[in-house]
Amino acid sequence: MYQKVCMENVAIVLHDTRIPENIGAAARAAANMGIGQVILSAPRTFDMERILKVATHSASGLVETMKVCNTLPEALGAFNWIVGTTARLGGTRRVNSSPADLAVKLIPISLDNRVALLFGPEDRGLTNDDLQLCHDLVNIPTAEFSSLNLAQAVMVMCYELFKARIQTPEFHIPRLACRYELEKMYTDLKESFARIHYINHENPEHRLDKTRSFLSRYQLRSREVSIIRGLCRQVARYGGKCYQEGLSAGISSGPKTQETG
């Protein structure tokens, strides 16, 4: 028996798009491959007439139910696994999967988890900050010219997900923590790191970026995120207790005065 990606749990997220026609073409590609949700994050121009003209009747229902968000964290908040697409490689952009390999990896994940395929703006793609929100990065191999049209990239990724098949896996991936839960955890970690002077206060994101990279390798569940956040709360309580005890000790001892004869 073969298993495939649960397309009902997959959504296309388009961030900072410039051209409405690209939104319509991307929605049409998603609809062709059985993906039923497109989410827009901070679109520069939102013209429904231009979008529908390219989407055609086949994708009109998908377009008319699109969710439009003001920020990328808002758009990704409910998702348990996020895949960022990038044409640029090297540096901190360590691509973990090819489109075909990624599709196979998503089969067990997609059964009980919401998956987002994230695409950046047409002119420059996703920034490093955008990619910090992703669990996986994927690059679509090309010949000499690496830049694909947005709708073309969406179609390639959707097609790979549509055709991926594996034997029924022996393992099951339960519901993972959503992006909203993870971002709350990273905020708590940042505050705890600052409290115990584990990070440089002038550049706190450097250490936090490495922590994100480390934890993103693991499929954290909501319960595990709660454990980490609970630890952060205990660090905050203990730090506050020590601070208050220090103040009390200073007050009780009082200022030293010099005795005179």
Collect all residues with Cβ–Cβ distance below 8 Å to 170 and sequence separation of at least 6: none
Pair (130, 23) in one structural domain: yes
pTM for the predicted model, two decimal places: 0.81
pLDDT tens for each residue of 210-231: 888 888 878 899 999 999 999 9
Which of 78-82, 166-170, 194-198 has the highest mean predicted lDDT (pLDDT)?
Answer: 78-82
Model pLDDT, residue 210: 81
For range 25-42, the mean pLDDT: 96
Q: Angle of helix 204-215 relative to helix 179-195, nearest 10 degrees?
A: 130
Whole-number pLDDT of residue 221: 92
**The domain boundary residue, chosen from 135, 167, 199:** 167
Same domain, 23 and 149: yes
Q: What are phi and psi of 10, to 5 degrees?
A: -110, 140
Q: Does some domain include residue 174?
A: no
Instruction: Answer yes or no: do 133 and 219 share one domain.
Output: no
- Could you tell me how far CA 90 lies from the centroid of its own chain? 19
Indicate if 219 and 111 belong to the same structural domain.
no
Query: How many whole angstroms separate alpha carbon 237 and alpha carbon 242?
Result: 9
Task: Pick the last residue of a domain from 100, 132, 167.
Answer: 167
Domain containing 214 equals 179-252
123 lies in the same domain as 186: no
Are the C-beta atoms of residues 225 and 181 closer than 8 Å to each other?
A: yes
Q: 92-136, pLDDT tens digit by residue?
A: 666 767 899 999 999 999 999 999 999 999 988 999 899 989 999
CATH number where 106 lies: 3.40.1280.10
Same domain, 34 and 75: yes
Distance, CA of 60 to CA of 28 (rounded, Å): 8
Residues 78 and 111 in one domain: yes
Do 23 and 150 share a domain, yes or no?
A: yes
Angle of helix 20-32 versus helix 150-163 axis, rounded to 10: 10
Final residue belonging to a domain, choices 147, 167, 187: 167
Rounded CA-CA distance 30/12 in Å is 7
User: CATH number, domain at 192?
Assistant: 1.10.8
Integer CA distances (angstroms), 45 to 20, 32, 37, 55, 74, in order: 6, 24, 19, 16, 18
Confidence of residue 254 (pLDDT cuts 50, 70, 90): low
- pLDDT at residue 64 tops 90: yes
CB 127 within 8 A of CB 15: no
